[in-house]
Structure 1
Amino acid sequence: MSRASVSQFDESLHLTNVWLKDITDQLGWTDRRAAYSALRAALHALRDRLTVEEGAHLSAQLPLILKGVFYDGWKPSRCGGNIRSVREFLAPVTAIFGADPEKDEDAIARAVFATLRKHVSAGEFDHVLHALPEPLRPLFEPA
Structure 2
Amino acid sequence: MIGTKGVFLAEDTPFNTGECSMSLSHDLDSALQTTQNWISDLMWRLRWDDRERVYQALIATLHALRDCLDRDEAVFIGPYLPPLLRGFYYEGWYDGRRAIARNRNSFLDRVHDGVERDPAVEPEEVARSVPFAYSRAPRCQGRRSKSAA
Distance verdict in 2 for CA 1:98–1:58, change over 3 Å: same
Q: 1:88 aligned to 2:106?
A: yes
> 1:88 offset after TM fit, Å?
0.5
Distance verdict in 2 for CA 1:15–1:97, change over 3 Å: same
Distance verdict in 2 for CA 1:48–1:79, change over 3 Å: farther
Higher relative CO (Cα under 8 Å, sequence separation at least 6) belongs to: 1
Distance verdict in 2 for CA 1:55–1:45, change over 3 Å: same
User: What are structure 1's unaligned runs of at least 5 residues?
Assistant: 118-124, 137-143
Provide the secondary structure at the position in 1 that maps to 2:34: helix
Q: Following the alignment from structure 1 to structure 2, what is the Cα–Cα distance between the partners of residues 60 and 108? A: 22
The structure with the larger Rg is 2
CA RMSD of aligned residues (A): 2.6
Q: 1:74 aligned to 2:87?
A: no
Distance verdict in 2 for CA 1:91–1:77, change over 3 Å: farther
Given that 1:44 and 1:70 are in contact with CA atoms closer than 8 Å, whether structure 2 keeps it comes out as: yes
More helix by share: 1
Q: Following the alignment from structure 1 to structure 2, what is the Cα–Cα distance between the partners of residues 130 and 31? A: 25
TM-score (norm 2): 0.71
Q: Following the alignment from structure 2 to structure 1, what is the Cα–Cα distance between the partners of residues 40 and 99? A: 30
What is the total number of aligned residue pairs between the two structures?
A: 124
Q: What amino acid sits opposite 2:121 in the alignment?
A: K
User: What are structure 2's unaligned runs of at least 5 residues?
Assistant: 1-14, 144-149
Provide the secondary structure at the position in 2 that maps to 1:90: helix
Q: What amino acid sits opposite 2:91 in the alignment?
A: D
Identity among equivalent positions (%) equals: 30
